[in-house]
Amino acid sequence: MAERVRLEEGWVLHRRPYRETSLLLEVLTAGHGRLALVARGARRPRSAWQGLLQPFRLLLLSWSLRGELGTLTGAEPAAPPLPLAGRALWCGLYLNELLVRLLHRHDPHPGLHRTYGEALRGLAVAGGERVRERVLRLFELQLLRELGYGLLLDRDAGGAPLVPEGRYAYDPARGPLPLAPGEPAPRGSVPVSGALLLELQRGRVGDAALPAAKALLRAALGRCLGERPLRSRELFGALPMVAPGPALREGA
């Protein structure tokens, strides 16, 4: 018996052509996590789904599911499309790549669905590089938490409370290891201040701490992502032949 779901909030993460006139969608839904759905006939010239089934638009999705692959039976807009443009659009593609790479199908993460929507709205209004960077870092932090790989941000690997003035080497597998004054961080760990970890614990990150937060979260995500690199990172920083002005030194 096929499982039927009606009008559940969801986002298209990715779409690719499927058979002659259909689309194969990866979606993130509120109650059922990441799913693969076939949208039959969505690539026919007059299909109403053609324009609707795009990433970065909150939809109400209906589908039936038998086995691994579901069939889309309805899609309606739940909100106007988010006006992501330029670099904010690349950031959105980065979020989608993270989700497809790290979430298992049929594994519900209701909190993540909300966090993702907030991050996209943050990117849509963000005026500059720093705002976008902050949105990405806080999303990564929340994603790791949802996946069960949350960072240890209130005490060190030995269980002692973190001190803001302290220097730590963050080992993605073990947590923050206190460093003696002048001691370098060992290989595979990221040097961070106690202040940054405590700030992240409260869901905040200041402008000055953005580069350190990026290094920390990149290492932590690397542990989950494995060897295969994220392709969306190529969009940032890798623009060939462009002088690296301040506006271009950005990235995921």
Partner 1 sequence: MEALVEALRCLPGVGPKSARRMAYHLLERDREGARRLARALEEAAERVGHCRSCRTLSEAELCPLCASPARDRSLLCVVESPADVAALEAGAGYRGLYFVLLGRLSPLDGIGPRELGLDLLERRLAEGEVQEVILATNPTVEGEATAHYVAELVRARGIKATRIAHGVPLGGELEYVDSGTLSQALAGRREIGGEEG
Instruction: Give the residues lining the site for partner 1 (CB under 8 A).
Output: 13-14, 16, 19-20, 26, 48, 51-52, 54-57, 77, 80-81, 85-87, 89-90, 92-94, 96-97, 100, 230-232, 234-235, 238-243, 248
Mention every residue, 6+ apart, whose C-beta is less than 8 A from residue 30. Answer: 8, 9, 10, 110, 113
* DSSP-assigned letter for residue 162: P
Q: How far is the CB of 235 from partner 1 (least distance, A)?
A: 6
For partner 1, the closer CB: 67 or 86? 86
Q: Which is nearer to partner 1, 93 or 220 (CB)?
A: 93
Q: How far is the CB of 144 from partner 1 (least distance, A)?
A: 20
CA pair distance 156, 231, nearest whole angstrom: 33
**What residue type is assigned to position 150 of the chain?**
G
Closer of 180 and 243 to partner 1 (Cβ)? 243
Taking the least distance from each CB to partner 1, the nearer of 77 and 150 is 77
Cα–Cα–Cα angle for 74, 80, 86, rounded to 5 degrees: 115
Element (H, E) at 169: strand 167-171
CB of 154 to partner 1, least distance (A): 34
Single-letter amino acid, residue 177: L
Q: How far apart are CA 66 and CA 96, in angstroms?
A: 25
DSSP annotation of 237 reads S
Q: What is the separation of C-alpha 13 from the centre of its chain, rounded to a whole number of angstroms?
A: 11
In the complex, minimum distance from the CB of residue 46 to partner 1, in angstroms, rounded to a whole number: 10
Minimum gap (Å) between residue 87 Cβ and partner 1: 7
- Residue 14's alpha-carbon distances to 17, 27, 53, 167, 176, in angstroms, are 10, 7, 9, 41, 36
Nearer to partner 1, 24 or 65 (CB): 24
Report yes or no: 18 and 45 within 8 Å, Cβ to Cβ.
no
Q: Which is nearer to partner 1, 94 or 116 (CB)?
A: 94
Work out how close the CB of 24 gets to partner 1 at its nearest, in angstroms, rounded to a whole number.
Answer: 11
